[in-house]
A and B are shown apart, each in its own frame.
Chain A
């Protein structure tokens, strides 16, 4: 049952994504892409759970590798987007 709900969520999110993005001015395409790229680092949640396992198994170390990679994706992605957008902002003021 839970999985059907999850699938349902997936479908709704897809429609929402299409609706949200279809009217973005082209000068914002790059920040939009790097910003959404940072969001795709949400795998960090899965990585946290996997790397926090108590036993010292391969599974945990794979999780840790995923954690480092996902954190780079998240932190770097948000920071670089912020940097880019702040340039757009100063120009407008």
Chain B
């Protein structure tokens, strides 16, 4: 295919990405939007394959292998496992950018200065090629290990809480400075062996930054991190686009970079914290130190007693959190909410913007369980009617219903908007045990007069409530 047609096709692909993202932003067009953007991807791949002078032997194998692995992973994953899968895919995208950048360096095949001369002609200067290679490698590397650590935390393969060690901030700062310095140095070298040695250091340091950057971030802040890493993977692709001077990579990568950044800012706002505080605050590990002593005691309630209250309730609000995802309780929750409706109660599901481990996590789970759209309420909506609610059932949510965020100025989460379940006539908290949640902050809700703890696995508890109604 002639170069001009290839370039026009890239523009078409870029337009399809833009349209696709726009359509993803509205419920009625989202399905189509995703398909439109995948069509753009298909066009980009096909025209790239039609470039002259490509050797297809391994391309076919690579595409087939990647396609099969991706398809199987996407088919098998349960909706509850969605955050970790997105993190994993994201990490792969980042590593791909790293390899594309590195591969460009290897094209020099031993003569870096000659390659810089020939390739640098199309650029503002030879330094530019070296600069974009370094950027693709650094951003890609951070995205890769950062996403892998996020994946390990989300899937429970390592502890989800923040990992803090002495001098952490200093060490992180030094590693980052080191990466910047080594990166800058790479841009100035022309000698091949030195360049190779320095590039390896760039790779090692960027991988290290990803690990060090994500381990101090606790589980509750994961939605922000996932969105931010998503943004990074886009920027990595854009940097790779500069390496091979390709418009479609630059446009698509930059779109993703911008959208991911916005999502993470939205998440931060929902927690009333700055992005810097989320990333460098070491939240969760030091949290237990803050806050006042709580008076009162936690009062347990049996499922039978809970049933009597629910049977008489006219208005019920479910507040799901990460615990519902862990217990896979979304289907029984839907069952219980149907029974309550038939029993004459008005049922709502209140979703906090940062509930779960991914932006919009709870919405996906409730949608999977076929909870009607009209029953889903956002925080402000449900807070307005909370004083008229008979029973609020908190399922595996913790910080997002902690009244300390409103009342206790010393609490680390003070100022975060919460769902005001404490204003409901009674609150049932479904919880495994008495421990503080993921963030380690004591929840003053549990000690309130109108709050009752129903201990046990959320799925089993809700299941036995359903059974009580059926008897």
Main secondary structure of the interface of A (DSSP, over half): helix
What total of A-B pairs shows CB separation below 8 Å? 379
Chain A 26-73 residues near chain B, CB threshold 8 A: 26-55, 57-60, 62-73
Given contacts A49-B54, A70-B66, A79-B71, whether A36 and B230 have CB atoms under 8 Å apart is yes
Chain A residues within 8 Å of B251, by CB:
9-10, 13
Q: List 15 A-B contacts (CB under 8 A).
A: A17-B21, A30-B86, A33-B260, A33-B263, A36-B230, A37-B93, A40-B234, A42-B248, A43-B236, A47-B62, A49-B54, A52-B54, A53-B107, A63-B103, A78-B34
Please tell me which stretch of B210-218, B372-380, B446-454 contacts chain A, meaning at least 4 of its Cβ atoms lie within 8 angstroms of it: B372-380
Size bin of chain B's contact surface: 35 or more
Nearest chain B CB to A38 CB, angstrom units:
7
Chain B 222-242 residues near chain A, CB threshold 8 A: 226-227, 230, 233-234, 236-238, 240-242
Compute how far the CA of A90 lies from the CA of B92 in the bound complex, rounded to whole angstroms: 31
- In the complex, are the beta carbons of B34 and A43 less than 8 A apart? no
Nearest chain A CB to B217 CB, angstrom units:
17
- In the complex, are the beta carbons of A27 and B351 less than 8 A apart? yes
Chain A residues within 8 Å of B233, by CB:
37, 40
Partner pick for B86 among A4, A9, A33, CB 8 A cutoff: A33
- A-contacting residues of B (Cβ < 8 Å)? 17-18, 20-22, 24-28, 30-31, 33-35, 37-38, 41, 44-45, 48-49, 51, 53-56, 58-59, 62-63, 65-67, 69-71, 73-75, 77, 79, 82, 85-86, 89-90, 92-93, 95-100, 102-104, 106-107, 109, 122-124, 128, 226-227, 230, 233-234, 236-238, 240-263, 266, 351, 353, 358-361, 363-364, 367-368, 370-373, 376, 378
Q: 3 closest Cβ contacts across the A-B interface?
A: A71-B66, A17-B258, A76-B70
Nearest chain B CB to A36 CB, angstrom units:
5
Chain A residues within 8 Å of B33, by CB:
35
- In the complex, are the beta carbons of A43 and B27 less than 8 A apart? no
Given contacts A39-B255, A42-B252, A92-B373, whether A48 and B93 have CB atoms under 8 Å apart is no
- In the complex, are the beta carbons of B244 and A49 less than 8 A apart? yes
Interface centre among B89, B233, B241, B246 (most CB of A within 10 A): B89
- In the complex, are the beta carbons of B34 and A85 less than 8 A apart? yes
- In the complex, are the beta carbons of A76 and B73 less than 8 A apart? yes
B-contact bits for A1-22, CB 8 A (1 contact / 0 none)? 0111010011001111110111
Partner pick for B56 among A38, A52, A65, CB 8 A cutoff: A52
Size bin of chain A's contact surface: 35 or more
Compute how far the CA of A2 lies from the CA of B242 in the bound complex, rounded to whole angstroms: 10
- In the complex, are the beta carbons of A48 and B59 less than 8 A apart? yes
- In the complex, are the beta carbons of B70 and A74 less than 8 A apart? yes
Partner pick for A71 among B27, B63, B128, CB 8 A cutoff: B63
Given contacts A29-B360, A33-B263, whether A3 and B70 have CB atoms under 8 Å apart is no
CB-based nearest B residue for A45 = B48
Chain A residues within 8 Å of B106, by CB:
57-59, 62
Compute how far the CA of A26 lies from the CA of B45 in the bound complex, rounded to whole angstroms: 32
Partner pick for B255 among A36, A74, A80, CB 8 A cutoff: A36
Nearest chain B CB to A49 CB, angstrom units:
6
- In the complex, are the beta carbons of A91 and B55 less than 8 A apart? no
Nearest chain B CB to A9 CB, angstrom units:
5
Compute how far the CA of A6 lies from the CA of B239 in the bound complex, rounded to whole angstroms: 11
Given contacts A26-B351, A28-B27, A63-B103, whether A52 and B59 have CB atoms under 8 Å apart is yes
- In the complex, are the beta carbons of B249 and A43 less than 8 A apart? yes
CB-based nearest A residue for B67 = A75
- In the complex, are the beta carbons of A69 and B93 less than 8 A apart? yes
- In the complex, are the beta carbons of A42 and B253 less than 8 A apart? yes
CB-based nearest A residue for B69 = A72
- In the complex, are the beta carbons of B66 and A72 less than 8 A apart? yes
- In the complex, are the beta carbons of A70 and B34 less than 8 A apart? no
CB-based nearest B residue for A80 = B74
- In the complex, are the beta carbons of A76 and B41 less than 8 A apart? no
- In the complex, are the beta carbons of A39 and B41 less than 8 A apart? yes
Compute how far the CA of A14 lies from the CA of B53 in the bound complex, rounded to whole angstroms: 33
Given contacts A29-B263, A33-B230, A51-B62, 12 further A-B contacts (CB under 8 A): A17-B259, A29-B266, A35-B34, A41-B93, A49-B244, A54-B55, A58-B103, A64-B58, A76-B73, A81-B34, A83-B75, A87-B370
